[in-house]
Structure formats: structure tokens, C-alpha cells
Amino acid sequence: MAVRASAMVKPARRTLLHLQVLRSTQLSPHFRRVTVGGGDIDGFTPMGFDQWFRLFLPTGNAAALDRIPAKAHETLGYLRYLAMSDRPLMRNYTVRGHRALSTHGPQIDIDFVVHGPTDDPTRSAAAWAAHCSPGDRLAIIDEGIGFNPERGVDDVLLVADETGLPAMSGILASLPASARGLAVCEVPDAEDRLEVESPRGVEVRYLVRAHDTPVGQQALSAVDGGGVPGHAWVAGEQGLVSGARRALVGRGLSTGQISFCSYWKLPRHQRVG
């Protein structure tokens, strides 16, 4: 019988943490890493896997970050946040890496997928990442993990497009050495095939998206042609996520064996699945 576990694993403490940029590095044509720390970083508890958080970035005066409600992730706090005339940009991002011990104190790496215009850092998180400098301020609220280990960690199938690669990398690094399975990630450029840490028994397979091929089509084909894992995790564009879920359920997996998250959405006529 499949393990029925909650969809999300929540952190013990969820509160607004004020941080600052320590450094920013271009990893590949479509990935930029921003390392943050300082401020309230000691209040962050790493959970591993695909731990995610709400990211708040100033759209003008950085002092607006000081007026974000401490419970902006809850209904009343969120309504107060929406009422701010200069409210910071809020997006959801994943912890790509956490280092508790370093010469500058604890640090969190955040990997941003950068494609499209980046000339206005107030319009998107990716544009902010392209322009940020050491000392720039930001804030986060931890939200926990979506890959629930209670659903299994020994026989896994991980599927994502480039937006899910940071989360997939976190899961791979958190799996036990005994884990086995397959991790498939579709990326837009061969240089976006970033090195990841993974158990020896988990094959990491990058698929470079062909020109004019719909996002997720190649990753979805890999799902259709694979075996039946004990625990599947799918993240990325909505069409890929919904198509992969249907394919996995059609092969006999229960919904209790599938963790999933849609990160973004193409127009319906452009989606796969």
C-alpha cells in the first residue's frame, strides 16, 4: 500500500527573515547564483530536499522591506502586504544550497533561471538577480519541502525542466547513499547541464531542448518510457507536471506516491501533456 503522506512538510518556524546579498555568479547561459546571508540568517533552519521559501525583493526603496508583515504568508498578513503602495516583489524560490559554517557565517545559495529581458530589476526576480550587488537587501519566509521523504527515498523518479533543477539538485544531495532511480532534467542549452551531487545508484540524465520543441516534451517522453518508481517527483511548467502525473498514474502509481509542483505556466496551446 502506498504511504499517504501530507503534500508538504512545513517548517517548525515560519517568520520573516531579513538577509543581504553576499555575492552573485553567472553559472551558465541561463543560471545565475545569488548567495545570501547576514541579518537574520541564524533564524533559518535547513531541511534539505526541495526546501522553498517566499522571496521578497524591493521594487524601489529598500526600506519597504521593513514594512512587510511578519506573517505575510498568512491570509491577513498577505492582505496587508497587498495593500502596500511600494510593496516588494514576492516570488517563490528554492534553497539550492546551505552552508552552516563559513568565514562569513551561514549562507544560502539561490539559483535563478534567467531568460528574457533583464533590464528592469523591479519587474522580475531573474532581472533582480542579474543586477544585484553585495550588500543589497532582501527578505524570505521559509515554507518547508514538497518532496516528502515519507513517500520513499530508495526508489525514485525525479523529473523537471530548468526551473526545477535547483530543487532537483537539493533532493539529490539529500537522498541516502543507498537510493536508486532516475533524475531527468530538460534544459535549454548544453552549457546549462550543471554538475550535481547524487547517490551512485541514481542516474542523472540531462536532455537539451531541441530548437522549437515545446518545453517539457523531451522530459515527458522520458517519463513515458521509464519504469515504475516507488516515489515520483515532478516540477516545472504546468503542462509537463500534469502530463507526467497522468502518465505515472496510468502506469499504476497512486497519487500518494507522487510529489509535484507547477512552477510556471505557458499558454495552453504551447503546453505538452
CB atoms within 10 A of CB 5: 16
What CATH number should be reported for the domain whose range is 149-270? 3.40.50.80
Question: Which conformational region is residue 113 in: left (phi greater than 0), alpha (psi within -120 to 50 degrees), or beta?
Answer: beta
Tens of pLDDT, residue by residue, the chain (273 residues): 333 445 678 988 889 999 999 999 999 999 999 999 999 999 999 999 999 999 999 988 899 999 999 999 999 999 999 999 999 999 999 999 999 976 778 999 999 998 766 667 667 899 999 999 999 999 999 999 999 999 999 999 999 999 999 999 999 999 999 999 999 999 999 999 999 999 999 999 999 998 888 888 999 988 876 678 899 999 999 999 999 999 999 988 988 899 999 998 877 766 776
Written as one string, the DSSP assignment of 179-246 is: -EEEEEEEESSGGG-------TEEEEEEEEPPTTPPTTHHHHHHHHTS---SEEEEEEEHHHHHHHHH
Residue ranges of the chain that CATH labels 2.40.30.10: 16-144
State pTM to two decimals: 0.92
Q: What is the DSSP letter of 118?
A: -
Q: What is the pLDDT of residue 4?
A: 42
Q: Which fold has domain 16-144?
A: Elongation Factor Tu (Ef-tu); domain 3 (2.40.30)
Residue ranges of the chain that CATH labels 3.40.50.80: 149-270
